[in-house]
Amino acid sequence: QAADSKREQFRRYLEKSGVLDTLTKVLVALYEEPEKPNSALDFLKHHLGVSAPENPEIEALRLEVAEMKEKYEAVLEENKKLKTKVKVY
pLDDT per residue over 16-41, tens digit each?
Answer: 999 999 999 999 999 999 999 999 98
Q: Is the pLDDT of residue 89 over 80?
A: no
Question: Do residue 2 and residue 31 come from a single domain?
Answer: yes
Residue 78: domain span? 54-88
Distance of CA 51 to the CA centre of its chain: 11
Q: Are 26 and 48 in contact (CB under 8 A)?
A: yes
Question: Do residue 6 and residue 18 come from a single domain?
Answer: yes
Average pLDDT, the chain: 88
In the chain, the number of structural domains is 2
Question: Do residue 15 and residue 48 come from a single domain?
Answer: yes
pTM tops 0.85, yes or no? no
Question: Do residue 49 and residue 66 come from a single domain?
Answer: no
Of 14, 17, 42, nearest to 30 by C-alpha is: 42
Q: What is the C-alpha R_g of the chain?
A: 24
> Distance between CA atoms of 27 and 60, rounded to whole angstroms?
31
> Distance between CA atoms of 33 and 42, rounded to whole angstroms?
14
